[in-house]
Homo-oligomer: A and B are copies of this chain.
Amino acid sequence: MEQVEILFKNGRVVSQGRVANGFVAVDQGKIVAVGEGDAAPQAQKIIDLKGRVLIPGVVDPEVHFGSHRWVGDEFDSETKGAAAYGITTWGFMQPSPNMGQPYKAEKSKEEVVPYSEVFNLFKDLGESRSMVDFFLTPKILKDEHALEIPRLAEEFGITSFKYQLHLMSPERTAQFWPNRKSQGYFGYDDGTISLGMENVAKLGPTAIVCMHCENWEIARIFEERLIKAGRKEYRVWNQRSPNFCEAGHVHTYTYYARILKCPIYIQHTTTPETIEEITRARADGATVYAQTGTHYLSLTEDAWRINVPLRSAEDIEILWQALADGRIDSVGSDHTNTAKSRSEMEVPGDIWATKTGFPSRGEALLPVMLSDGVNGGRISLQRLVEVCCENPARIFGLFPKKGVIAPGSDADLVVVDLDRKVTVSSDMVHTAAGWTLWEGREMKGWPVMTMLRGKIIAEWADGDKRPEMVSKPLGRYQPRSLGRS
């Protein structure tokens, strides 16, 4: 037998519902053997895990960078944070004007181009600058985008598509969030949605429609009322868009998805009411997947302004339960970046004046899951790997290339030290924004090495304050093919 390139040994290998003590052999970017005891092959390089944990690289289905800066710059800075903290595949979601064209804060209707026109620009930028692999989930902004779906699938391996339901009615929304329309959201309706659902249904598995469910047509009533009442404190943001605004959209669009036989992915499952609607839709025969976010699992309504809102501490525990028992399938970071400091974004005590969104969510994903989830006793290590790696890979058509430690799969691997305790500080992040909302929290359980297709890309050296990049950008676009895995 020949030597393989790399052998991980003496570790706890977690994948597909099992924790096995053993080895993982890597060669030419692929996993070539997993095993235990003496059966390991010879290797040029041996990495002794010393009992630490080896998991598949995280597949994070939702990152939104490019709204506030040129995508090229974002690939540079933001994917470093992903690589540092264990994400090896990123699902990119953006309006078509933000795909690598010169950055403009305001877009005209004409600039909302077809995705097929800008896809190669985006791909080339990513393949020269991204630290991690990436795929694309276009945002459907108008009928033409929905009609483009078959071509996007065939030519570019794009099989997931997203609707931002809160931004359907920009005329109305613009009354209270003026710049939204200029970001490329010029309005669409249920017809645009049914067109997309029909086209995705025709593609068959694993094509899917993703939805940001949040009824802002109703939220505008609450917003007006709260402002009139002089309410400003952060938790008001949750009252502005209460649980039923999210669950109501889930109620409605799981119906159309069922009727049109289109699988649907609920991007932000943050309330018990949403979980109930998802469960009922599944019982009625709809194919529904549910994502939640690490921010929804660890930050309460007092923390910041974001869409959908951060919820109550009580709701958070219900989310963890649903994540543990299978009602929620996956976790996403919802990473964004404004490249602005906290003081530039925040007007303390005034939710209306504070900027929406907060950075460093990609960096927080795996640490929160390890610390609050596994070490917090809320989910098992096996379940962490399911919701962060295997399930997103399956749902988005990347399995078994991604999401699993098994022969033939990409050697995307993360070494985790479950016992490491670190108090989060803003100098630990790589994002251009330079700060994190989790600052000050002591977390236990950290990724300490990230490998992408057989190359170590990030490593947390002893004594360092954070993991650093140890390779140039190696990220590759991941086209997806249809058909059940």
Contact = CB atoms under 8 A, between A and B. Distances in A.
A215 interface: yes
Interface string A1-16: 1101000000001001
Contact of A40 (B22, B33, B37, B248): B33
Contact of A172 (B191, B217, B256, B485): B191
A40 B41 contact: yes
Interface residues of A, number: 63
A399 B17 contact: yes
Interface stretch (A104-112, A295-303, A404-412): A404-412
Given A22-B408, A190-B218, A191-B220, 13 more contacts: A1-B38, A17-B399, A17-B485, A20-B406, A25-B35, A27-B37, A27-B39, A31-B35, A32-B38, A33-B40, A34-B34, A191-B217, A283-B283
A352 interface: no
26 contacts: A1-B38, A1-B40, A1-B42, A17-B394, A17-B485, A18-B406, A18-B408, A23-B33, A25-B39, A27-B37, A32-B35, A32-B36, A35-B407, A38-B41, A39-B41, A39-B407, A171-B187, A189-B217, A190-B218, A191-B221, A194-B221, A218-B256, A252-B252, A280-B283, A283-B283, A380-B484
Nearest to A21: B408
Contacts of A400: 17-18, 20
Interface string A229-267: 000000000000000100010011001100100000000
Contacts of A382: 485
Contacts of A32: 35-39
A279 interface: yes
A259 B248 contact: yes
Interface-central residue, A31, A218, A248, by most chain B CB under 10 Å: A218
A452 to B, nearest CB: 19
Contacts of A20: 400, 406-408
A194 B23 CA distance: 46
A251 to B, nearest CB: 5
B33 A34 contact: yes
Nearest to A285: B279
